[in-house]
Structure formats: structure tokens, C-alpha cells
Structure 1
Amino acid sequence: MDLLALADFNLVARHEGFGRAARASGRPKATLSRRVAELETSLDLRLFERGGRALKLTQEGRALFERTGALLAELDETAAAIASGGDKPRGRLRISAPLLFSQTAMGKLAAAFAVKYPQVRLEVTTEDRTVDMVEEGYDLVIRVNPDPDDTLVGRIFLRDRLVAVASPSLVRPSLVRPGLIPSGRIRPADNSAIPAVVRGAADQAAAWNVTTPSGKSRIAIDPVLRLSSLLMVRDAVRAGIGAGRLPISLVSHDLAAGTLVHLGDVDGPEIALWTLYPSRRLLSARVSAFLDFLKDAFPMGTSDELAAYVGG
């Protein structure tokens, strides 16, 4: 495949037209049109639908554009790095990160990374859904407990755990010890279920299974409030509306201050934050730089480090 023709195709696709691509690049429109036509002939595929003023990618053209754009950008960056005598990270770095991590830590991380690597243009998108890295043009994704994927490689950079917490006002004061409610004594005096703040309408649990220093315990709950964000859940729990299940990193300062009490560790898998990237691509300098940056920010990868980084 002719790489120059492929580069011209990407230029036209990126600017959505031969005229705009010609003006942006300073190259003749006729040359771009001829090179794209030659590429279509060599591939025996129609890459653009030409009609009227509109120029649209065909399904095959969009697939080629999505799969080759990042590779050509990496080739350009590699050539520029060699020409400048070094491999300093540069260029665009697109990252998809989950909502809670973005709300609590990503802004601070992104700002510090931008200061350290001013030639990298960092773009962070916040979303909890599973993204197609190649199709959507991401260089790196951060995910919580991701499903196995043979097309991706990555590493855990942070670990956290869920805890059940509540305001001291929800339990009998005589039963509260600093940071912990004795096992089996977390219900109100009338033995009814404890009011709870839960995340989302899908959480229909009637009880939480927790582990305390005294052993296993089961907390009967009455969901009085359903919220879509863990930050909202934490704020409502702080206000004393009900108990909640939250990452320890999000409430460790409250537990230390005694404004929340620890009902127990929620039974279940740990919370593991992964960085993932496509295995079939060479790791670019900018992705390597961001991975090293995360390692420096969280050298042990513990919830205490995350809590300290996030602050109160």
C-alpha cells in the first residue's frame, strides 16, 4: 500500500472534503483527488461517496480511516522525534477514564501531566461504558475491574475496596466506637432495617454482607434514596440520610475525623483500576510517559495513596 496515498486519504477524510484538505495543507486539490482515486483502485474499494457538495466516507473508508489515522500520527511523531534528536513525548494523547476517578483525581493528574509534558495535548473523556479504543481513537483507557480482552494489554495501578459507612446519628451513641460499629449492633433500637443511600435503580439489595473485626455480619437496609453518582451518595451519607457503600478512599478522611463510622468491609471483589491499551500497537512515548506518571503518583497503588491524593 502506498503510504503517501494513504496519508492523503487521511488528510481528506479528516477535513471532510478535497477543497478543505487542499486549503489546510497547501497542496493542489487535483493532486489529492488523484491520489485518493489511485488508492481506491489499488484496494478495489470505494472509500468516499461523491455526490453534490457532500463527501462522505463509505463504511470501508471509515474503517480504514479509523484504523490508520493513529498509526500515521505515530509515524509522524517518530520521524519528528528522530529529527529533533530525542524521543520526548509529543502529540495528542486521548484517554477515556471512569466517572468517579475523573471527578476526584483526573483533573489534578491532567494538570500536573500537562505541566511536565507541555508538548503533549492531553484529551480526557469521562465515561463508564466500555469503549472501542481503535474505532473511537483512544490511546489509553482507565477502567474499573474490566472484563478480559485478548486485544488489550494493561496493568493495575490502583486498588480500593468498598466499605459500609454511616453518620453516627443513625446508630445508638452508646454503641459507637471510634471508626467502627460493633458487629451485630448496627441496627436502630427497634431492630428495623437501617435507612440506606444506594447507587442507581438497579441496586435492589435488601441487605449488605460485611466483614468486621468480630466476623461476618449482615446489615438489613431500607433504601430511602437512590442516586446515580458515588459522590452524591457520599454527600447524602454525610448529611445523615442513610448508610452507604463507598470506596474507602472516598471516605477515609471522614472516618478519621469521626464524622462517619465504619460498619464493615463490604464482601466482594476488590476495586482494581486498570490502564489498558491495544496490544497490536507499539507503545508510544506519550502513553509510556502517562503510565510512568501514574506510577509516580501512586507508587504503591493503595487506597490510602488515592485518598491522600484526592484530599478531603
Structure 2
Amino acid sequence: MDLNALADFNLVATHGGFGRASRASRRSKATLSRRVADLEEQLGVRLIERSTKGLELTEAGQLLLARTEGPMHEVTDAITAAREGTGTVSGRLRIAAPVLFAQLAMGRLAAEFRRLYPDVTLDVVSEDRLVDLVDEQFDVAIRPNPRPDTALVGRCFAKDRLVVVAAPSIPMPAAGPTPVRVDAIVNAHRDGDTWALDGSSLALEPVPVLRLSSMLMLRDAALAGAGVTRVPRSIVWQQLASGALVQWGETGPAVELWVLHTSRRLASPKVKAFVDFMAARYPDGSLALSG
């Protein structure tokens, strides 16, 4: 099988047509069409149905794309690495990061990484959903507490803790035999938990006075004295240091932040450089975000 023809088929299929594939690759539609036709002839099956309405993959075409898209990325990475040399850190680095971390850290981190590696172009996408690194063509993803996944490898570069905080004007209650009810600013996506403070007999029963969908909104509402809230320490460390907020205690397990890449794809120099950079950026593992 002609790998170049297979690569052209993947190009056309993923772009959804010969025109878009032609513009993306800067090659003529006629050349791409001929290469796909050659592949169809080699395989003896129709891969693409062409019509005035556009392009549609046949069942055989869908199967071929599903089975070859990931491996073709690996081949492309291997060829690029061979051409550029295994020590060259260059090219486009596509990163998926959670929204909060992206908003408060990735702008500065991206600028710092590019100062170190000026031949790398970073493309950072803020996503709280679990992106598929292979299908969506991400090189790395930053994730909190990732589930074990045999397809991904990486490194934990920082840890965080959830802390219960309030404005100094709100007195901290004494521990009792049952959870103490407090006016609380709660995460709109999670509700109903009892907040047990580590190393303390005090447990809190949050009575929601505000439901907010952003950790930054939770923090800002607590600063305004609206109630008690539970947020990552990394986003309130400055307010705790200045006395604008008071920490009542830590709650729940540690939150680990990992930088991950697919184990199926060759770890290119740019991916290795970024993983090492993130680990070096947080040498003691503590996370402190500003914003």
C-alpha cells in the first residue's frame, strides 16, 4: 500500500472535502483526488462518495480512517523527528488545559516556554472536558487527578488542596457533636456535601446562600463577605497572606495536576521539553496561581 496515498486519504477525510484539504496542504485538488482514487484501486473498494452535496465516507472509508488516523500521526511525528533531529525542539505544540488553570497560569507559562524554545508555536485550548488527544490532535493535556489510562503517560507536576475560607468578619464556629450549619457559597456543579475539616472535630453543613459556577466567583463572593466557601488554596493564597480571607481548614484529598501525553505517539522533543518545563516550573510541587 502506498503510504502517501493513505496520508492523502486521511487528509481529505479529516478535512471533510478535497477543497478544504487542498487549502490546508497547499496541494491541488486534482492531485489529492488522483491519490485517493489510486488508493481505492489498490484496495478494490470505494472509500469516498463524491456528489454535488459534498463528500461522504463509505463504510469502508470510515473503517479505514478509524484504524489509520492515529498510526498516521505517529508516522508523521517519526518522520518529522528524523528530519529535524531528535534534539530539535520546534514545531506546533497543541495543549489542552482546564479552564481555571488556563486562565490563571497558561498565558505566562506559554510565554515563558516560548522564550526558552522560540522555534515552537503553542496552541493552548482551555477545556474542562476530557479531550481525546489522538482524535483531536493534542500533543499534551493538563488534567487534575486523572483516572488511570493505559493510553496516556505523563508526570504529576503540582499538588493543590481544597480549603474552607471566609472573610475575617465571619466568626469561625466551635465544633459540636453534629455538623454546624453555616451560610455558604457553593459550587453550582456540586452541592450537598458536608465539609469535614482535616485534623479537626469541626464539620460544616453548608447552607447555600449563593450557587456559583466558577471558582473565581466563589472566591470573590467570599471576599465580599457573602459566606463561607470551599476553593483550591492555589487561588486564595494571596488573600490568605494579606488577611483578606481566613482559612478555617483543609478538606478532602489532595488535588494532583498532571501533564499527560499519549503513549501511542512517539514523545517528540517538543513534548518532552514541555513536560520537563512544567516539572521545573513547580519544583516543590506547590501550586500558587495569581489572578
TM-score by length of structure 2 reads: 0.87
The separation in 2 between residues aligned to 1:194 and 1:87, in whole angstroms, is 57
Q: Deviations over 1:69-101 (max 9, x none)?
A: 53344144224304xxx6322222111111111
Moved more, 126-135 or 33-42: 33-42
Contact 1:210 1:265 in 2 (8 A): yes
Q: Which residue of 1 aligns with 2:198?
A: 211
Task: Summarize the alignment of residues 122-271 of structure 1 with structure 2, pairs less than 5 Å apart.
Answer: 122-171=122-171, 181=172, 184=175, 193-205=181-193, 207-212=194-199, 215-266=200-251, 268-271=252-255
Q: Which residue of 2 aligns with 1:102?
A: 102
Q: Which residue of 1 aligns with 2:120?
A: 120
Three-state SS of the structure 2 residue aligned to 1:256 is helix
TM-score by length of structure 1 reads: 0.82
The offset of 1:123, in angstroms, is 1.1
Q: Which residue of 1 aligns with 2:273?
A: 289
Distance 1:255 1:15, change over 3 A: closer
The offset of 1:11, in angstroms, is 4.0
Q: Deviations over 1:115-150 (max 9, x none)?
A: 222222211111111222111111111111111112
Three-state SS of the structure 2 residue aligned to 1:89 is coil
Moved more, 257-266 or 39-48: 39-48
The separation in 1 between residues aligned to 2:24 and 2:233, in whole angstroms, is 51
The separation in 2 between residues aligned to 1:166 and 1:27, in whole angstroms, is 60
Where do 5+ consecutive residues of structure 2 fail to align? none
Three-state SS of the structure 1 residue aligned to 2:88 is coil
Where do 5+ consecutive residues of structure 1 fail to align? 172-180, 186-190
Contact 1:81 1:88 in 2 (8 A): yes
Task: Summarize the alignment of residues 44-55 of structure 1 with structure 2, pairs less than 5 Å apart.
Answer: 44-52=44-52, 54-55=54-55
The offset of 1:201, in angstroms, is 4.5
Contact 2:222 2:229 in 1 (8 A): yes
The separation in 2 between residues aligned to 1:274 and 1:246, in whole angstroms, is 19
The offset of 1:156, in angstroms, is 0.8
Distance 1:27 1:237, change over 3 A: closer
Contact 2:156 2:258 in 1 (8 A): yes
Contact 1:96 1:125 in 2 (8 A): yes
The separation in 1 between residues aligned to 2:29 and 2:204, in whole angstroms, is 70
The separation in 2 between residues aligned to 1:265 and 1:24, in whole angstroms, is 51
Contact 1:77 1:91 in 2 (8 A): no
The offset of 1:289, in angstroms, is 1.1
Contact 1:193 1:219 in 2 (8 A): yes
Distance 1:192 1:147, change over 3 A: closer
Q: Which residue of 1 aligns with 2:256?
A: 272
The separation in 1 between residues aligned to 2:64 and 2:141, in whole angstroms, is 25
CA RMSD of aligned residues (A): 2.6
Name the % identity. Answer: 50
The separation in 2 between residues aligned to 1:170 and 1:78, in whole angstroms, is 58
Q: Deviations over 1:39-72 (max 9, x none)?
A: 2344455432211262244533542574255334
Contact 2:192 2:206 in 1 (8 A): no
The separation in 2 between residues aligned to 1:257 and 1:291, in whole angstroms, is 33
Contact 1:46 1:61 in 2 (8 A): no
The separation in 2 between residues aligned to 1:225 and 1:56, in whole angstroms, is 49
Three-state SS of the structure 1 residue aligned to 2:157 is strand
The offset of 1:28, in angstroms, is 5.5
The offset of 1:24, in angstroms, is 6.5
Distance 1:201 1:97, change over 3 A: closer
